[in-house]
Structure 1
């Protein structure tokens, strides 16, 4: 049995869609906080079980019979280390063969503020003795392409990454990596994967690609980190999200989102999806 936590999230749904290409739906458990949001997964034959990171008792029930678990990191910033520890403890009680965890690129050395809770989680996994694989996911291309409509409307993409190069890939590529690890016939316990896109770009190049494909003028406008955070807050983003995005862009300026190992494409057996393709898909949505 394969358990996917956070299964109704953007990454979780992609993982399940791709996992269904490898194993019967009856062997997949979608562990979700709100089962009513997973009716479409249940319709495909996937087992839907209530699992709340903040309610450990639900995790024991959700993990019953599990052999492999994918722990998709929580989106509750500031609560993640505690929530993940509950999942790790439940996985240990379940006696799973493998716990795979979606961490962040170069978590052990990263300057990203969001890396701290990932480091704490990786430490907790290591201390637990549960057989594990760490998937250190790089930046999702969608973190930038989600704002394409606004970028075109304003004629600019704002950020504070300077000329830092970003090795992103779309969520679907990272989902493919998770599925590859979960279904691999080779031992995965103890593996740490630094996952990033084959192609790296600056935000100036990102803006230029939007302009090229949209036919509209779009340039990159680099701001001081504090100003970029303020702009994000003024756009309606919660304070904690604005802080995360501004800090991530700032860290990118010194290489925090760059990696040229091509471990992701090696793991999924194909090149990662180019930036131009993801932009093109976003423009037709």
Structure 2
């Protein structure tokens, strides 16, 4: 039995889709806050169990009889360590044989502000004694392609990453890696995977590719971190989101989102999705 937490989210759904290609639906458990959101998965034969990171009592039932659990990191920045600890504790109580965790690229020394909770969670995994595998996911293409329409409307993509190179991959690529690890016949306990796209690019390259595919002028405008955050706030983003994006770009300028190991493509057995393809999708081409 394989449990996927956060199964109604974008990554969780993609992981389950990949697992369905490898194992019977009856061996997959979708653990979600609201089971109604995954009625489509239940219709396919996937087991659905209610589970809430913030309600530890729900986790034991969700993990009952599970051999493997994938802990997809919480989106609630600032609360994640406590939530993740609850999952780790429940996995230990239920005798889970492998606990996977979606961390962040180079978490141990990353300049990303959001890396701290990942480092703390990785440390908690180590202390728990539960056999664990860490998937240190790099940036998603979608983190940037979600802003393609805005870039076209303004003729510019704004950021604070300078000439920092970014080795992103599609969310589906990372989901394929998680499914590969969860279904591997090799012992995965104790392994740490640094996962990133095969090719890297700067945000100037990103803007150029949008312009090339759309036929419209788009340039990259690099701003100091504080100015970029102010621009995001002016665009209507919440404070914590603006801070997160500005911090992430500033860290990218220092190499936090770059990796050339190609470990992700090795794990999934194919090249990672090119950025150009993701941009084409965002443009509806």
1:164 corresponding residue in structure 2: 164
- 4+ long deviations beyond 4 Å: none
Alpha-carbon offset, residue 34 of structure 1: 1.2
Q: Deviations over 1:91-143 (max 9, x none)?
A: 00110110000000000000000000000000000000000000000000100
Secondary structure in 2 matching 1:248: helix
Q: With the length of structure 2 as denominator, give the TM-score of the two structures.
A: 0.99
1:38 corresponding residue in structure 2: 38
1:254 corresponding residue in structure 2: 254
1:79 corresponding residue in structure 2: 79
1:272 corresponding residue in structure 2: 272
1:13 corresponding residue in structure 2: 13
2:122 corresponding residue in structure 1: 122
For 2:49 and 2:221, the matched residues in 1 are separated by: 45
Q: Deviations over 1:7-66 (max 9, x none)?
A: 010100100011100011111000001111111111111111110000001000100110
2:281 corresponding residue in structure 1: 281
For 2:105 and 2:8, the matched residues in 1 are separated by: 23
Q: CA RMSD in A?
A: 0.7
The 10-residue stretch of structure 1 (196-205 or 29-38) with the greater mean CA deviation from structure 2: 29-38
For 2:279 and 2:145, the matched residues in 1 are separated by: 6
Aligned 1:1-285 pairs, distance under 5 A: 1-284=1-284
Q: Deviations over 1:221-280 (max 9, x none)?
A: 001101111111122221111111100000000100000000000110111011101111
For 1:202 and 1:215, the matched residues in 2 are separated by: 20
Secondary structure in 1 matching 2:283: helix
For 2:248 and 2:41, the matched residues in 1 are separated by: 33
Q: With the length of structure 1 as denominator, give the TM-score of the two structures.
A: 0.99
Unmatched tracts of structure 2, length 5 or more: none
Q: Deviations over 1:167-195 (max 9, x none)?
A: 00010000000000000001100100000
Secondary structure in 2 matching 1:133: strand
For 2:231 and 2:45, the matched residues in 1 are separated by: 44
Secondary structure in 1 matching 2:64: coil
